Structure 1
Amino acid sequence: MAFRSGTDARAPDAACEALSLDIVATPQGVRAALARAAGMLSRADLCPTVQGCIELVLAEALNNVVEHAYSTSEGGRIAVRLDPRGETMLLELRDNGRPMPDLTLPEGQLRPLVGSGDLPEGGFGWYLIRRLAVRVTYRREAGTNVLQIEMPLGRQSKGI
């Protein structure tokens, strides 16, 4: 799975170079990728809140790939790229697992809570991703899932 540089890509900030990882689609692989990403983001000297939001969104996206795209297969791989682009950080994940249902991103709507003991298992990840990102896109090309999440690095953050 190779990354193609888009024609609209701006040069990475000198303090923060792009990071590309090829990880095994397991919880251990996700943890290792998150540790590497955290190191890269720390070197970028980002606001701790911005760094935390990027790490949270990346963790949610990677865990979704492991849990849903590769839930019935072993040995899957995920190509991960973090690419600073001016005021945003592009997170791109590519995998050859199962496609999203109907080739469509989940809406990311919160489910209503009925009572204090009725917290649903899951269902918050896509809400967080959509709420914290500037833009989220998904496509399937030649048997590969391509998820792109554009995260704000500064003033354009929407917050939770």
Structure 2
Amino acid sequence: MCTGNCLDLQFSATASDASAGIAQLSACLKAQGLPAHKAGDVKIALAEAINNVVEHAYAGVTPAQVKVRCRLNQDWLEILISDTGNPLPGFRVPEGMPAALGSSRDELPEGGFGWFLIHELTSDIRYERSNGCNWLSLRFDFPDAE
């Protein structure tokens, strides 16, 4: 899985396998030199994107595989996530507006912040649907250590 500056991992689109895959990818990226100041951002965005695949792309269909390829460079990290689940609504990345908070604790939403976090934590997001496959690319730039 960990070779040079490229990491490849494939796992079933289940909550438990996704959790294990995210942990494995995070550990391997750290071992390969992901800057410490970006590790938390990467793990959060990766978890949000992969959990969206598990919860939404495979909603109503038999879960298959999630494939993740990471390319780490001194100044950037690219993560490509692919699956054969349902496409993103409108075949495009959601805008990432946070859910309304409501006026009381009881009105707080349970979700609706995932795409907002992904937008906030990444440098670039790209999505393509091709031949029944979703391709989501997340890029993190880190030209200078903080």
TM-score, normalization by structure 1: 0.81
Matches within 5 A, 1:92-103: 92-103=80-91
Matched, 1:72 2:64: no
Alignment correspondent of 1:140: 129
Deviations 1:109-132 (A, max 9, x none): 123323131221211110010011
Task: List gaps (5 residues or longer) in structure 1.
Answer: 1-13
Higher helix share: 2
Which of 52, 71, 84 pairs up with 1:83? 71
1:80/1:46 Cα in 2 relative to 1: closer, same or farther (>3 Å)?
closer
Q: Secondary structure at the match of 2:68?
A: strand
Cα distance in structure 2, aligned partners of 1:25 and 1:110 = 25
Within 5 Å, which residues of 2 pair with 1:3-152? 17-117=5-105, 118-152=107-141
Q: Which amino acid aligns with 1:131?
A: E
Residue type at the aligned position of 1:137: R
Asked whether the equivalents of residues 135 and 150 of structure 1 are also in contact (C-alpha less than 8 Å), the reply is: yes
**Normalization by structure 2: what TM-score?**
0.88
The RMSD of aligned alpha carbons is 2.0
> How many Å separate the matches in 1 of 2:13 and 2:82?
11
Q: Are 2:35 and 2:145, in contact at CA under 8 Å, matched by a contact in 1?
A: no
